Chains A and B, each alone.
Chain A
């Protein structure tokens, strides 16, 4: 084994060691803990970047050097490298954001972030079904801590629902894994991909049932309708850095479904139609939610559901080109929504508490209160407000999918992939309409919120925003811009990743060393 091979296990080992180290540091030494956490995150970014460069070929890391079907393996291919990098970027943004206030709001913020990253990276990299369960539980345990982080009635109440739902989903996960193991006798994903087509037809329905039960666990995470009602309220109640990190958790569900479904059944078995229509119903539900959301947190939560729905539907429709475009959309929307979650807190400092509710109610009853003319005509927008407004507009552009930001490129690529096959199916037409309508709905909702916040005069306070809080938002939005500028190479990379998922021979052969 060369040094490059050991890189594969570093995204798990590094956050684990860092998290354990931070737990030992005295609770009040914030600067030291932040320094440890940030240096680990920068290391993680470097490792993930290196994995991305090396990602052209699939690499396998056998833990303890046990050969593949018997031992647990980590597999770094293009998709997992990209997802590990995305997780590291979000971890860095959340940690930077927390430096201003949130790291003091409760115990062990940095350690929880590190453990969450460990679970995420492990779940993206692992090549073993039961190991996937373990990493899911690890990241869920850290996410329970982060969902509760900061305390308060609203967080405890929504976390209670979050924990109960995810524990139940974990039970489904276990049932699915044990059914699949009971029939095939293996838990290695590559080995399963070889054995599932060869099993006895009488046992086939058992494997399919197991896979369906397993998918429930992933779809709860992804927030597919009707399994996703918990998502908006939990994410809206969570502290902003935690919510920003959580925006990748729902994408983990999508990625797990994509990988396992293509690996086990090669995209067949009617799962595609289920995913496509389920994703579209989710998207429809999210459109209604986005339009009716009365505060920004729920608006962001429903935007996240909309992106999950789009992804599931695009994956379910099934061509490799659509999956590649969907992966690009996944990266862009995760960055945009994470930036939006961070921005919400900054923007809300400019509002009197409860003003969102009042504004929407006032609108509904026609009580705009604009009878009194403003005396000052040309009030200069303070620089903070201008900066926040620009960032808000950028988030809206990414989420709604308007040029010049990558939301547009992603939706365009997706629509052109949907329109390529001939004849175009009913599902593709419906998805096309829904994607366009969801963009319009996001634009209306974000526009309404933005007008109320930045142009509505009543009860506005100029917020005190520190540079360190604005940096992560700017970082995420700059990455979005970079994704637009580098759209060609980025889409090409993710298309290759999607093609590798659709034709998994390379993956299977590398893992099993054939």
Chain B
């Protein structure tokens, strides 16, 4: 389980960084999204990789910390998802505005020599 999780985060982060360094704005925004998936998964699994455990206490059941997942990283990841969603939407608008104003989708607003 740990290996799958770390590989998944690594692939997301690697792809995200690669795309982030590309010259087209669309590639950059996809790269940012992938990188933020990697970070979200990373936060999520900072509460340890455990299967089949709920992050809340069931009424009546004995309270034993070993039976529960840590709820805090789940709350954190929810906040992080919402924030990165909102800022990505904003970036998308700026990206479209830049495309309209400069007539190119290059991140510098003009074509480089490639």
Q: Which A residues have a C-beta under 8 Å from some C-beta of B?
A: 130, 133-134, 137, 140-141, 144, 148, 152-153, 156-157, 159-161, 163-164, 167-168, 170-171, 174-175, 177-179, 181-182, 187
Residues of B within 8 Å of A182, CB to CB, are 46-47
Give the distance to chain A from B93, nearest Cβ to Cβ, in Å.
Answer: 9
If A137-B83, A160-B25 are given as contacts, then 13 extra A-B residue pairs at C-beta distance below 8 Å, sorted by A number, are: A130-B76, A133-B80, A152-B101, A156-B94, A157-B98, A160-B107, A163-B87, A164-B20, A167-B88, A168-B20, A170-B84, A171-B39, A181-B76
Contact across chains for A168 and B79 when beta carbons are under 8 A apart: no
Can you spell out 15 A-B residue pairs with CB atoms less than 8 angstroms apart? A140-B87, A141-B90, A144-B90, A156-B101, A156-B102, A156-B109, A157-B98, A163-B87, A163-B94, A168-B20, A171-B35, A174-B42, A178-B76, A181-B76, A187-B72
B43 at the interface (CB under 8 A from A): yes
A187 to B47, alpha carbons, bound, how many Å?
A: 13
Select one of A141, A152, A179, A187 contacting B87, CB under 8 A. A141
Contact across chains for A157 and B108 when beta carbons are under 8 A apart: yes
A179 to B39, alpha carbons, bound, how many Å?
A: 11
A77 to B36, alpha carbons, bound, how many Å?
A: 34
B69 at the interface (CB under 8 A from A): no
Contact across chains for A160 and B84 when beta carbons are under 8 A apart: no
Q: List the 9 closest pairs (A to B, CB-CB), nearest first.
A: A182-B46, A157-B109, A178-B43, A178-B46, A153-B101, A137-B83, A171-B39, A174-B39, A156-B98
Contact across chains for A153 and B39 when beta carbons are under 8 A apart: no
A134 to B108, alpha carbons, bound, how many Å?
A: 29
Contact across chains for A160 and B39 when beta carbons are under 8 A apart: no
Give the distance to chain A from B112, nearest Cβ to Cβ, in Å.
Answer: 14
Residues of B within 8 Å of A137, CB to CB, are 83, 87
A163 to B87, alpha carbons, bound, how many Å?
A: 9
Closest to A138 in B: B83
A137 to B97, alpha carbons, bound, how many Å?
A: 22
**Do most interface residues of chain A lie in helix, strand or loop, or is the interface mixed?**
helix
Known: A141-B86, A178-B73. A167 touches B91 (CB 8 A): yes
Known: A130-B79, A181-B72. A160 touches B95 (CB 8 A): yes
Mark interface residues in B59-92 (1 if CB within 8 Å of A CB, else 0). 0000000000000110010011001101110110
Contact across chains for B91 and A134 when beta carbons are under 8 A apart: no
Contact across chains for B109 and A153 when beta carbons are under 8 A apart: yes
Contact across chains for A159 and B94 when beta carbons are under 8 A apart: yes
Contact across chains for B94 and A148 when beta carbons are under 8 A apart: yes
Give the distance to chain A from B16, nearest Cβ to Cβ, in Å.
Answer: 9
Contact across chains for A167 and B98 when beta carbons are under 8 A apart: no
Q: Give the contact-size bracket for chain B.
A: 20 to 34
Give the distance to chain B from A253, nearest Cβ to Cβ, in Å.
Answer: 18
Contact across chains for B39 and A175 when beta carbons are under 8 A apart: yes
Residues of B within 8 Å of A167, CB to CB, are 32, 36, 84, 87-88, 91
Residues B31-54 near A (CB distance < 8 A) = 32, 35-36, 39, 42-43, 46-47
Give the distance to chain B from A149, nearest Cβ to Cβ, in Å.
Answer: 12
A170 to B43, alpha carbons, bound, how many Å?
A: 13
A160 to B94, alpha carbons, bound, how many Å?
A: 6
Residues of A within 8 Å of B88, CB to CB, are 167
Contact across chains for A171 and B94 when beta carbons are under 8 A apart: no
Contact across chains for B42 and A178 when beta carbons are under 8 A apart: yes
A181 to B36, alpha carbons, bound, how many Å?
A: 18
Give the distance to chain A from B55, nearest Cβ to Cβ, in Å.
Answer: 15
Residues of B within 8 Å of A187, CB to CB, are 72
Contact across chains for A171 and B98 when beta carbons are under 8 A apart: no
Closest to B25 in A: A160
Residues of B within 8 Å of A133, CB to CB, are 80
A157 to B102, alpha carbons, bound, how many Å?
A: 8
A160 to B93, alpha carbons, bound, how many Å?
A: 10
Give the distance to chain B from A137, nearest Cβ to Cβ, in Å.
Answer: 5
A168 to B25, alpha carbons, bound, how many Å?
A: 14
Interface centre among B25, B88, B94 (most CB of A within 10 A): B94
Residues of A within 8 Å of B94, CB to CB, are 144, 148, 156, 159-160, 163
A419 to B97, alpha carbons, bound, how many Å?
A: 52
Give the distance to chain A from B98, nearest Cβ to Cβ, in Å.
Answer: 5
Contact across chains for B91 and A164 when beta carbons are under 8 A apart: yes
Residues of B within 8 Å of A159, CB to CB, are 94
A152 to B47, alpha carbons, bound, how many Å?
A: 45
Contact across chains for A181 and B73 when beta carbons are under 8 A apart: yes
Closest to A180 in B: B46
Contact across chains for B107 and A168 when beta carbons are under 8 A apart: no
Give the distance to chain B from A142, nearest Cβ to Cβ, in Å.
Answer: 11
Residues of A within 8 Å of B91, CB to CB, are 160, 163-164, 167
Interface centre among A130, A170, A171, A181 (most CB of B within 10 A): A171
A119 to B84, alpha carbons, bound, how many Å?
A: 16
A337 to B91, alpha carbons, bound, how many Å?
A: 28
Select one of A134, A141, A179 contacting B79, CB under 8 A. A134
